[in-house]
With several copies, the nearest count.
Chain A
Amino acid sequence: MKNNDYKKFYNSPEDALEGLLFDGMTIMSGGFGLCGLPENLILSLRDSGVKNLTVISNNAGTEGHGLGLLLETKQISKAISSYVGENKLFEKQYLSKEIELEFNPQGTLAERIRAGGAGIPAFFTATGVGTLVSKNKEHKTIKGKEYILESGLISDLSLVKAWKGDKAGNLIYRKTARNFNPVMATAGKNTVAEVEEICEVGELDPDQIHTPGIYVKRIIKGLNYSKAIENLTLSED
């Protein structure tokens, strides 16, 4: 039989990030709001002290959660996001020009990341035509409709969170905690994943794997998930 040691399983987030960090790097971080965040890896990223980061993430976390942790330590110098409404600290650092901000429409952001991972340097989309987003971008009329050219995005390091993963790096996500994680996994020069349940190779159904192991360089079992709820809304019945 073939050698099945993928050398991808690490014992701690610190070990998993070892050698992959440098000042000024670009990091993608999965999650939507506080849902599906790589909590352990973000904590470890904070503790590493790496700085001057460009962070690509749909949101900027909240105070005390997600990327909010890296704002407190002023490790982020630029953010590429679609919505940062829930973070006062972000607002403060933005207004004081400590942070540069690039807003992308959420679907354009997701597709730019997908394109980056798929080797597509640029694609046309109707999203943002006639708005500030289209400024300085190439326009093209195709079959009578106007589009703008958007570029693919890649990262030096992508941090993703899945529900289950095996030691070959295969990942399965749960419910809406999937969100940006699978595309970010494809778009990292290196991708590190954290999972709630680590499995032996062969335990996952190959038809159900959302992220094939090829995209995951290192994997850890995450601990102590806070899984904070940003907006608890209950039925009144």
Chain B
Amino acid sequence: MSWNRAEMCKRAALELKDGFYVNLGIGMPTLVANYIDKQKNITLQSENGMLGMGPFPKPGMQDPDLINAGKQTITSLPESSYFSSADSFAMIRGGHIDLSILGAMQVSKQGDLANWMIPGKMVKGMGGAMDLVAGVKKVLVLMDHNAKDGSPKIVNNCDLPLTGKKVVDLIITNLGVFEINQGVKVKEIADNVTKESLINKTETELLF
């Protein structure tokens, strides 16, 4: 047993504190928006130039001039503002975003992140990921604990090309929550996951 995707997103949403400005990466991180506590004031940034991102539009209400960084149609909110890509990344690089949630292929025990290319495969580009991990105050990785072939994704050293060095603060997987802090510290274990299986499925040493 382990957490399913909804449970992972729900757990990640707990990291969004009242008043936070947050950037959610493409893919599973985008889904975290569905689990944000409505009691909290959270503002979502989209790096293509928007603060205050709203939900997906109802059918017929889509606007081709209003998309998120995943090129999905979205909506605005009363507090929204738009700005250029340069201003958007000035905001990101300048440390004004409180939290970014990203997917990953590998994370090392030092917090190195690899999530943009696999040598030998066609490279699509890093998009805004390198800027986000270098600039945002806190970086949370949301990913499956193991790759499809079962190989561990929390490793001693990434063998894939890096997106950033010593940039990850927290990892949430289907098996638990892990803090990068002079090694990989286990903060929470998913329901019915044993300590032993967690150790078996992780390359690097876990600190309990």
Known: A33-B71, A35-B65, A231-B70. A110 touches B88 (CB 8 A): yes
* Contact status A5-B41, CB under 8 Å: yes
- Residues of chain A within 8 A of B85, CB atoms compared: 32, 58, 106-107, 110, 179-180, 183
Cβ of A194 to closest chain B Cβ, rounded Å = 14
**Chain A interface secondary structure, helix, strand, loop or mixed?**
loop
* Contact status B41-A6, CB under 8 Å: yes
Interface residues of A in 38-87 (CB under 8 A from B): 58, 81-86
**What total count of A-B pairs have CB within 8 Å?**
250
- Residues of chain A within 8 A of B126, CB atoms compared: 82-83, 103, 105-106, 133
Whether a CB of chain B sits under 8 angstroms from the CB of A11 is no
Whether a CB of chain B sits under 8 angstroms from the CB of A98 is no
Whether a CB of chain A sits under 8 angstroms from the CB of B73 is yes
* Contact status B124-A2, CB under 8 Å: no
- Residues of chain B within 8 A of A233, CB atoms compared: 56, 72-74
Quick one: closest B residue to A86, CB to CB?
B71
Quick one: closest B residue to A2, CB to CB?
B38
Whether a CB of chain A sits under 8 angstroms from the CB of B13 is no
Known contacts A229-B64, A230-B67; 15 further A-B pairs (Cβ under 8 A): A2-B77, A3-B41, A32-B48, A81-B125, A83-B124, A103-B123, A105-B128, A117-B94, A118-B94, A125-B93, A125-B134, A181-B84, A182-B84, A207-B82, A209-B81
Interface residues of A in 104-121 (CB under 8 A from B): 105-108, 110-111, 113-114, 116-120
Interface residues of A in 79-101 (CB under 8 A from B): 81-86, 91, 94-95
Cβ of A227 to closest chain B Cβ, rounded Å = 4
- Residues of chain B within 8 A of A231, CB atoms compared: 67, 70-73
Q: List 10 A-B contacts (CB under 8 A).
A: A2-B36, A103-B123, A107-B92, A113-B86, A175-B66, A178-B83, A206-B80, A207-B82, A212-B81, A214-B91
Q: Which residues of B are at the interface with A, using a C-beta cutoff of 8 A?
A: 18-19, 21, 36, 38-43, 45-52, 55-59, 62-68, 70-74, 76-86, 88-97, 112, 122-131, 134-135, 161-166
Q: Which residues of A are at the interface with B, using a C-beta cutoff of 8 A?
A: 1-7, 32-36, 58, 81-86, 91, 94-95, 103, 105-108, 110-111, 113-114, 116-120, 125-133, 163, 166, 168, 170, 173-183, 186, 201-202, 206-207, 209-210, 212-215, 227-235, 237
Determine which residue in B63, B94, B97, B129 has the highest number of CB atoms from chain A within 10 A of its CB, and name it: B94
* Contact status B86-A91, CB under 8 Å: no
How many angstroms from the CA of A32 to the CA of B69 in the assembled complex? 8
